[in-house]
Amino acid sequence: MSRKVIVTCALVGSSTRKNQNPNTPYSPRELADAAELAYKAGAAMVHVHAVEDDGANSIRIERIKESHDAIKARVPELIVNMTSALGPGATPELRLQQMEMVRPEMSSLNMATMNFAAVNRKTGEVLVDYTFENSLIMVAKFAARMKEIGTKPEVEVYSSSGIDNFHALAGGGSFTDPVNFNFVWGVCGGNSFRPGTFIAMASSLPPGANFTACGVGNDEWPAITQSILSGGHVRVGLEDNIRMPDGALAKGNYELVEHAVRIVRALGHEPATPDEARAIMGTIKR
């Protein structure tokens, strides 16, 4: 049966930079330009990290708010989903404060402490390595405050442990239905994409929950296809992957969205509009 599939575009993340793909957006204006093109290509939501002009992750609340506001000014229809991670060096207090200042319609909520690394898989050399801290006390505090300010959490899980942590905390009342999960595949420290693991995780969600999926690098296209086949939604974008399936550098976030939309339609569905996505996920337009 045909249904509406939410396409999210992750415009830029904590690792992708212009030296890898020159079409990576940094400035608030570049983010707004990229968001507008992604919207026209079929995205209902954008996931956003703020980046300084030199490509460094921004932990400045002023830059974060400017990036959010530039997108909303350019494309008010879009759902803007801001990261709560910010990157290495961001304290829990700062991560929470920027959400309180910006009050986005949606924000990521990472559910487990984990290794977050980049490894040369041919040699085993660890190139980048840090511990991404998300203690259960921190997660519970973030979830409670997000409910108070009206920001819907996107529950980020890199393995089944994140789902189990959700179930452990759900009795506290900070999560409102429908709960929206994002399965992240391919980060070293989390799960690599495997169809069987995907199905097991989807089967572990609470009744009525929504899920989407994104994959790093080569995991992007099989992960989103599996998600559609399993009844879920999809995320693509330069945060996750800089190349098209044929190996060519993506001309921009919009080209990745265009290809995701082709997959959605090839499987008999249609991309959701932002308002249709709001109805599915239970967010309130801001």
Cβ of 20: how many Cβ atoms within 10 Å? 13
Instruction: Give me the mean pLDDT over the 151-156 stretch.
Output: 98
Residue 61, in any domain of the structure: yes
Q: Three-state DSSP class for 64?
A: helix
Tens digit of pLDDT for each residue in 231-245? 999 999 999 999 999
Q: Look at residue 246 and tell me if it is in a domain.
A: yes
CB-based burial label for 254 (10 Å; 0-12, 13-18, 19+):
buried
CATH of the domain at 228: 3.20.20.70
Single-letter residue type at 4: K
- Prediction pTM value: 0.97
Q: Is 113 exposed, middle or buried (0-12, 13-18, 19+ CB in 10 A)?
A: middle
Output the CA torsion sign for 11, 158, 283, 59: negative
Predicted confidence (pLDDT) at residue 154 exceeds the cutoff of 90? yes
Percentage of residues in the chain having pLDDT higher than 70? 100
Specify if 47 maps to a domain.
yes
pLDDT at 67: 98
**Within a domain: residue 223?**
yes
Q: Domain residues for 21? A: 4-281
pLDDT score for 138: 97
In a domain, 83, yes or no: yes
When pLDDT is averaged across residues 128-138 and rounded to a whole number, the result is: 92
Distances (CA, A) of 26 to 80, 108, 134, 146, 279: 16, 20, 26, 26, 31
| Confidence class for position 36, pLDDT limits 50, 70, 90 | very high
- List pLDDT tens digits, range 242-278: 999 999 999 999 999 999 999 999 999 999 999 999 9
Q: 79-82 and 45-48: which strand pairing? A: parallel
Checking if the pLDDT of 117 tops 90, the result is no
Confidence check: pLDDT of 128 > 90: no
Q: Per-residue pLDDT tens for 45-71?
A: 999 999 999 999 999 999 999 999 999
The count of domains in the chain is 1
| pLDDT for position 59 | 94
* Residue 286 belongs to a domain: no
DSSP strand pairing (79-82 vs 106-110): parallel
Give pLDDT, residue 238.
Answer: 98
